[in-house]
Structure 1
Amino acid sequence: MSDKIQLLPDNIANQIAAGEVIQRPASAVKELLENAVDAGATEIKLIVADAGKSLIQVIDNGSGMSETDARMSFERHATSKINNIDDLFRIRTMGFRGEALASIAAVAQVELKTRKTEDETGTLIEIENSVVKNQEMIAFPKGTSIAMKNVFFNVPARRNFLKSNPVEMRHIVDEFIRVAMAFPEIFFSLTANGQEIFHLEKGTLKQRIVHLLGASYNAKLVTVQEKTDYLTIYGFAGKPDTAKKTRGDQYFFVNNRFIRSAYLNHAVMSAYQAMIPADSFPMYVLFIDLDPAQIDINVHPTKQEIKFEDEKIIYAFVQAAVKHALAQFSIMPTLNFDLDPGIQKLDAVEKPFTEEKKTNAEASSLYNTFTQKNQAHFIDSKSELKHWKDFYPEPKQQSGFKSLLAAHTEPVSDKLEYEQTVTANRSLQGSGDQKLQLLEDVPMLQLHNTYIVASTNTGYILIHQQSAHERILYERYIIAAKGKPIPIQRSLFPLTVPLAAADAALLQELLPDLAVLGYEIALFGKDTFVIHGTPADVETGNEKTAIEQMLEQFKHFNSEVKFSRREKLIRSLSWQHAVKPGRSLSQQEMKTLGEELFATAQPNITPSGNPTYIAFKKDYLERMFGK
């Protein structure tokens, strides 16, 4: 029988998590692209106009549909993927609920054209507000074309909640990247308003990653490949120097389905421990293939969150696979045993491993759990391993001078009391009885190339150099945004900056606001920009990095409060251009920083609410020393 699509019985449909409501054009893009993949297409084209508000069209050369299937596909819970409830736990396709086209037809005008290979003619169906307006036979090549026009034309209130075209376009690009990355063997293209943004030929996974995320990753990817009888992990992780200050290019796929998992992300982060700064995020694109019976994808409307039967196993395998990959490529620090002759004298090295010791080792339960098939993750709770505390004897009681010293170096109060005391001594202009002022003739001291100790008329303050500079820049940019543009330092030799397609779209959106803040940037070709000038206080030679990191900061700007685009840009630039910990400052630089900080309207906190300095009053210091 040529017809494949059938309505699910109520008892099965009721056990399926509700499908994703079409919240924005990107939601429809995701559903349509996944349907094209499931149809076995080798070429998929996405065409959008007006950021998807006017048109979203997906054209594929897949299996197509019969006339009956074409009509049935718009019914709720009409699917070719599931016949009984057990099929829910054997899903290897992208879609399975049978709700995508029904949801799309409910909020837009839809035109479907399709033809199966064996059919001589195709089918055209036009639907508006879930009502079929026209159905006829047409000439059409093999495959399917679905055009979704005028999204939310019948729900004006929801259309009013859509963001600006650049914002909606970024969401569409995100969904496109997630699907295209998972299937490098399929040709994908994305055309927006008549301009082709992505043209992705069939190729390897690495080629697809480089085309999607940027050529800068080409020589900075480490292959991750581990295969076990339980699961297979493969993909790429970025070398430590690709780590960014914001959570950017991180992708997890389970059975080719993009997922979000803070738990598995932690596994990757732990593999990079001590290799990248604690506040940095590595790049990775990792695929996990395992038996569908071991996961449940029927738990979330967007299907981007899934449940594992045993997530601890997955965590351990992901962490080990990434660590192994980094070690193989000589990225992980290694021990050179020749450097320490003392190691050669250890019993484990000097004494031979006798047959008796071998027999005892093989008889242990720990050995069995790691050598029997499918047992690596089952650790015997009755293992003869000692508890970790048993390796550390109780510390002996100190006596004499050391004991006396230890007693006097204990905190003067508990943590809460100390924090309350410090909080009471933090001050913008003192506690009201005396205005806080920096002493001009007293030199400042820099600690750990991060903190500045400055004497005041009431004691001293400890300034965090990055936080203080961030407050200064923020207020400078606010003034510029209100009509006093920042002076531009023109480049003698303009710098060309190529960007990934998604970043190029974002930067083009931000150009007017950046011009007010001292950046003179122009579009140069498809995804390339030319920097003609930067703010006068931006370090020369650092323009390209500053732009790239500003975009990362803006894209992943996190806040519980919703800010305007300009406010987000100002906060991102303030953070990006602020002097970072680790930079040594001269006396003049420290003095200028202090003076400019106290000239701001709110010198005691950063734009995000963190303190810029802590004030310690003289009487508080005397109390600490019992004076």
Structure 2
Amino acid sequence: MADIINLLPDNIANQIAAGEVIQRPASAVKELLENAVDAGATEIQLIIRDAGKELVQVIDNGSGMSDTDARMCFERHATSKIKSIDDLFQIRTMGFRGEALASIAAVSQVELKSRRAEDELGTFIEIDNSVIRRQEPCQAPVGTSIAMKNLFFNVPARRNFLKSNAAEMRHIVDEFIRVALAFPHLQFSLNSNGQQMFHFEKGSLKQRIVSILGQHYNSKLVTVKESTDYMNIHGFVGKPETAKKTRGDQFFFVNNRFIKSSYLNHAVMNAFAETIPPDSFPLYVLFIDLDPAHVDINVHPTKQEIKFDDERILYAFVQSAIKHALAQFSVTPALDFDLDPGIQQLDALTQPFTEEKKAQSAGTSIYKTFTSANQAHIIDKSNNSNLQHWKELYGPPPARDNDFPPPPSPSDFPPVSTASVIDERWQEAAHDQKGPVQVHQQYILSQIKSGFILVDQRSAHERILYERYLRALAEKPIATQQSLFPQTLELLPADAIIVHEMLPDLQALGYDLEPFGQHTFVVRGTPADIQTGNEQASIEGLLEQFKNFSHELKHNRRERLVRSMARNNAIPSGKPLSTREMQNIIDELFACSMPNISPGGRGTFISFKLNDLEKMFDRGF
């Protein structure tokens, strides 16, 4: 029988490996930008066409490569940074495994130009599906230009899984922002479809944060800086008033590498626990520096998930550093020790305190009260007290002839049994209670002919809003409540891309938004059922919900938007409701096409039948 195990050809092996490293255009952006940083560049330019599907190009003024290195860099596991296993635990550069360029070359068409300062000519290489088609000398500036064209041209199934241009561009902007934040001393620019989206000059970390997030943050950042023998932390957190309903303004870097860590994020949230609402997210850009031997960054192909040898130390250190920063730089009212010149002219200072005035003061009840030993709390009960009029103000009014008679005393009635009193009161309460009842401000209890139902007010309202918003997109737009004072909403660049994409649907759902600058919108109106003055929180909450739904590929953009709005605007658990509000929820719920479940699949109500209740209480047996 013939042998059946064969070695995969290099191009197929590279395509399989590329599935781990290059998942979308943003993956290539990250790898190419980090390579440019590792090359010692001071100016890095990113050029994008068609959200990276047609072109991702990075141009840098770094050290460049020789013709041999330019060819070798596309081989799998070819790297200049690791020569022994010990080097793997002392990594401080961004790219080190030699997978990125090989993976990029396996799923796209690549053109590279590179020249070192000591060389007169540079090297041009053209690669197609991992095969080098051409290599020749060329004229080129010092540094490297690498262009990735037609991503996944040879893997059409992978290309079909890419999302809309706006969604892919949002991921590209996210990766660009992260690298730009990590290296504020370098110049970065991003050009998309011939238009410049960003240009960041070299500067301090604070300048870079403000240029990305907006000038209004300039006076709202708190410095975080703590050092120990084990680790250091530096960066900025936003003052409590900058907390938002969306978690986009949160960045953690370990040894200048952006990471995602729910554990460390929890430490930050705990540090802010007593200063911001529980459903808000603080701004932070924090850098942790520690010995690479304490960190394992080789646990995931994207290197965004890393492991620490002792996470508890980091948790305590991050939490205490932020608490210390907030305490040290908190805005508190300052005592003014400069004496107002007008005070010097008061009679109490300019006129002498004579013996006659002293005697008059000593005779008052207030003087006696506060000069008696341990009796500062005494209130004079005499009729001559200056506080007597307070009794008249808060005491019962004097009786008048036309007043109602006093209520009868218990002795005016014959004695009755306790059981009959309870029964009588319950009958009165049952007679008065004609509408639904709220239970623990979460559920609505309502009587029906066959028994009663218990409604989850949040899930029910979410179903109502979901169907209302679907009708608005399909038939009649929702009425807009115009704001008396339009608000300016400045968003993260990636969030601004989402809003631009959703603008027509948002307008049909009652939002009146108008672009105002690159990442800014003017909010002129919101859906009529949203409370006035809550416009910014409403949009931020909507964005957060939309991003939470973004991983659900089974839903299109409109479906995700409608679900996000329904969840964001639904009545929260714990909110007291009037009888009319509860009845409206019940009526509207049972007018829905699917009243029994929320859009997310949770139940909206439970019914209890009289027959079941009788069995529970052993009635009829």
Q: TM-score range by the shorter chain?
A: 0.7 to 0.9
Kindly indicate whether residue 97 of structure 2 is the aligned counterpart of residue 105 of structure 1: no
Query: 1:184 Cα shift?
Result: 1.1
CA–CA distance in structure 2, aligned partners of residues 33 and 119 of structure 1: 24
What SS does the corresponding residue of 1:326 show, helix, strand or coil?
helix
What SS does the corresponding residue of 2:581 show, helix, strand or coil?
helix
- Name the structure 1 match of 2:205: 205
The one of 567, 574, 591 aligned to 1:575: 567
Query: 1:216 Cα shift?
Result: 5.2
Closer, same or farther: CA 447–238 of 1 in aligned 2, 3 Å: farther
Matching of residues 399-418 of structure 1 within 5 Å: none
Closer, same or farther: CA 306–526 of 1 in aligned 2, 3 Å: closer
Matching of residues 174-253 of structure 1 within 5 Å: 174-215=174-215, 217-253=217-253
CA–CA distance in structure 1, aligned partners of residues 249 and 616 of structure 2: 48
- Name the structure 2 match of 1:563: 555
The one of 500, 503, 506 aligned to 1:511: 503
| Greater alpha carbon shift after TM alignment, 138-147 vs 25-34 | 138-147
- Name the structure 1 match of 2:528: 536
Q: Would you say the 8 A contact 1:246–1:556 is kept in 2?
A: no
The one of 489, 497, 502 aligned to 2:494: 502
Query: 1:535 Cα shift?
Result: 3.0
Kindly indicate whether residue 74 of structure 2 is the aligned counterpart of residue 82 of structure 1: no
Matching of residues 230-379 of structure 1 within 5 Å: 230-330=230-330
**Rg comparison, structure with higher value:** 2
Kindly indicate whether residue 528 of structure 2 is the aligned counterpart of residue 549 of structure 1: no
Aligned residue pairs: how many?
A: 506
Q: Would you say the 8 A contact 1:248–1:556 is kept in 2?
A: no
> Match of 1:478, as an amino acid?
L
Closer, same or farther: CA 247–114 of 1 in aligned 2, 3 Å: same
Query: 1:33 Cα shift?
Result: 0.3
> Match of 2:194, as an amino acid?
G
What SS does the corresponding residue of 2:234 show, helix, strand or coil?
strand
Closer, same or farther: CA 560–112 of 1 in aligned 2, 3 Å: closer
Deviations 1:292-312 (A, max 9, x none): 111122222111122222222
Deviations 1:479-534 (A, max 9, x none): 22333433444567765433332122111111232233233434344333344554
Q: Would you say the 8 A contact 1:19–1:97 is kept in 2?
A: no
> Match of 2:95, as an amino acid?
G
Deviations 1:429-458 (A, max 9, x none): xxxxxxxxxx99714555666554544445
- Name the structure 1 match of 2:593: 601
Q: Would you say the 8 A contact 1:19–1:302 is kept in 2?
A: no
CA–CA distance in structure 2, aligned partners of residues 55 and 187 of structure 1: 21
- Name the structure 1 match of 2:361: none
In structure 2, stretches of 5+ residues that fail to align are 1-16, 333-430
> Match of 2:594, as an amino acid?
Q
Query: 1:466 Cα shift?
Result: 3.4
- Name the structure 2 match of 1:117: 117
Deviations 1:350-378 (A, max 9, x none): xxxxxxxxxxxxxxxxxxxxxxxxxxxxx
What SS does the corresponding residue of 1:78 show, helix, strand or coil?
coil
- Name the structure 1 match of 2:11: none
- Name the structure 2 match of 1:375: none
Matching of residues 479-498 of structure 1 within 5 Å: 479-489=471-481, 495-498=487-490
Q: Would you say the 8 A contact 1:458–1:618 is kept in 2?
A: yes
> Match of 1:600, as an amino acid?
C
| Greater alpha carbon shift after TM alignment, 265-274 vs 93-102 | 265-274
Q: Would you say the 8 A contact 2:18–2:103 is kept in 1?
A: no
Q: Would you say the 8 A contact 2:18–2:106 is kept in 1?
A: no
- Name the structure 1 match of 2:380: none
> Match of 1:479, as an amino acid?
R
- Name the structure 2 match of 1:44: 44
Q: Would you say the 8 A contact 2:469–2:509 is kept in 1?
A: yes
Q: Would you say the 8 A contact 1:504–1:528 is kept in 2?
A: yes
CA–CA distance in structure 2, aligned partners of residues 585 and 61 of structure 1: 64
Matching of residues 143-158 of structure 1 within 5 Å: 143-158=143-158
- Name the structure 1 match of 2:373: none
Query: 1:132 Cα shift?
Result: 2.3
Query: 1:329 Cα shift?
Result: 3.5
Closer, same or farther: CA 499–252 of 1 in aligned 2, 3 Å: closer
- Name the structure 2 match of 1:473: 465
- Name the structure 2 match of 1:31: 31
Q: Would you say the 8 A contact 2:124–2:137 is kept in 1?
A: yes
CA–CA distance in structure 2, aligned partners of residues 137 and 298 of structure 1: 36
Closer, same or farther: CA 473–521 of 1 in aligned 2, 3 Å: same
CA–CA distance in structure 1, aligned partners of residues 20 and 434 of structure 2: 64
> Match of 2:515, as an amino acid?
L
Closer, same or farther: CA 245–525 of 1 in aligned 2, 3 Å: closer
Query: 1:134 Cα shift?
Result: 2.6
Query: 1:287 Cα shift?
Result: 1.3
| Greater alpha carbon shift after TM alignment, 203-212 vs 187-196 | 203-212
Q: Would you say the 8 A contact 2:244–2:540 is kept in 1?
A: no
- Name the structure 2 match of 1:527: 519
CA–CA distance in structure 1, aligned partners of residues 473 and 226 of structure 2: 52
Query: 1:543 Cα shift?
Result: 3.1
TM-score of the two chains, using structure 1 as the length reference: 0.73
CA–CA distance in structure 1, aligned partners of residues 187 and 518 of structure 2: 20
Closer, same or farther: CA 200–617 of 1 in aligned 2, 3 Å: farther
Q: Would you say the 8 A contact 1:490–1:534 is kept in 2?
A: yes
Deviations 1:312-352 (A, max 9, x none): 222222222223223333489xxxxxxxxxxxxxxxxxxxx
What SS does the corresponding residue of 1:79 show, helix, strand or coil?
coil
CA–CA distance in structure 2, aligned partners of residues 119 and 296 of structure 1: 38
Q: Would you say the 8 A contact 2:246–2:540 is kept in 1?
A: no
| Greater alpha carbon shift after TM alignment, 501-510 vs 603-612 | 603-612
Query: 1:28 Cα shift?
Result: 0.7
Matching of residues 428-467 of structure 1 within 5 Å: 442-446=434-438, 451-457=443-449, 461-467=453-459
TM-score of the two chains, using structure 2 as the length reference: 0.74
CA–CA distance in structure 2, aligned partners of residues 554 and 254 of structure 1: 28
CA–CA distance in structure 1, aligned partners of residues 604 and 331 of structure 2: 37
Q: Would you say the 8 A contact 1:243–1:282 is kept in 2?
A: yes
Q: Would you say the 8 A contact 2:478–2:509 is kept in 1?
A: yes
Query: 1:539 Cα shift?
Result: 3.1
CA–CA distance in structure 1, aligned partners of residues 226 and 486 of structure 2: 46
Query: 1:56 Cα shift?
Result: 0.5
Query: 1:75 Cα shift?
Result: 1.9
Query: 1:620 Cα shift?
Result: 7.0
> Match of 1:190, as an amino acid?
L
Query: 1:150 Cα shift?
Result: 1.1
Query: 1:219 Cα shift?
Result: 4.0
